[in-house]
């Protein structure tokens, strides 16, 4: 969808892919086989900003990881869906159950398994290192790479378009957030 036809004020859900979006896409295994992931603190702040602006974060990932569960708990993300192999079908049902329209959702993802689900939302974004097919289909290709602030960049874009970015920053961080 072209950005000039989006009613930004209607956006109330931010669908988040994990690997390659909230993380750098790497899977790190220690010598005991334990998986770890690197999450950006900037992205966490972006999720807090989105929620402050009335946009509910939703994690939708094709893999399952205790690291994702832990990070979601830290950020108090109530909707966390892991090991979802058919994201489009899952998201369609999630929207139906909650009576969410296409115009009320934004999606950030980076790979081919995100394309179907992205087609169900009004606005889409991807990190600058997303696969070409995703870049070609997105409303915006972000400047940040996956796991390096792409979620924060998208959250700020959404709130700026809604006209309440500075208000959300001030509510979360007070005087320190002023950019005057």
pLDDT of 20 over the 60 cut:
yes
* End-to-end C-alpha distance for the chain, whole angstroms: 33
CB atoms near residue 13 (< 10 Å): 22
pLDDT of 59 over the 60 cut:
yes
pLDDT in tens, 87-133: 999 999 999 999 999 999 999 999 999 999 999 999 999 999 999 99
Q: DSSP code of 10?
A: G
pLDDT of 61 over the 80 cut:
yes
Quick check: 28 and 38 in contact, CB under 8 A?
A: yes
Question: Could you give the CA distance from residue 21 to residue 29 in angstroms, rounded to a whole number?
Answer: 19
Q: What is the CA radius of gyration of the chain?
A: 16
Give the pair of three-digit tokens for residue 45. 């702040």
Structural domain spans, the chain = 3-172
CB atoms near residue 159 (< 10 Å): 24
Overall CATH class of domain 3-172: alpha beta
Q: What is the mean pLDDT of residues 68-96?
A: 97
Q: Measuring CA to CA, which residue among 36, 168, 46, 170 is closest to residue 106? A: 46
């Amino acid at each position: 969808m072209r950005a000039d036809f989006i009613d930004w004020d209607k956006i109330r859900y931010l669908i988040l892919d994990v690997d390659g979006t909230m993380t750098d896409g790497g899977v790190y295994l220690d010598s005991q086989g334990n998986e770890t992931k690197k999450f950006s603190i900037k992205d966490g702040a972006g999720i807090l900003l989105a929620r402050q602006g009335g946009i509910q974060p939703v994690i939708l990932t094709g893999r399952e990881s205790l690291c994702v569960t832990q990070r979601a708990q830290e950020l108090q993300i109530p909707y966390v869906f892991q090991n979802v192999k058919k994201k489009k079908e899952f998201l369609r049902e999630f929207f139906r159950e909650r009576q969410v329209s296409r115009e009320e959702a934004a999606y950030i993802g980076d790979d081919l398994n995100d394309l179907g689900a992205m087609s169900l939302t009004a606005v889409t974004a991807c990190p600058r290192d997303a696969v070409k097919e995703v870049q070609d289909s997105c409303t915006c290709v972000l400047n940040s790479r996956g796991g390096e602030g792409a979620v924060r960049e998208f959250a700020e874009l959404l709130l700026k378009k809604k006209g309440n970015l500075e208000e959300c920053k001030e509510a979360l961080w007070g005087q320190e957030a002023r950019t005057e």
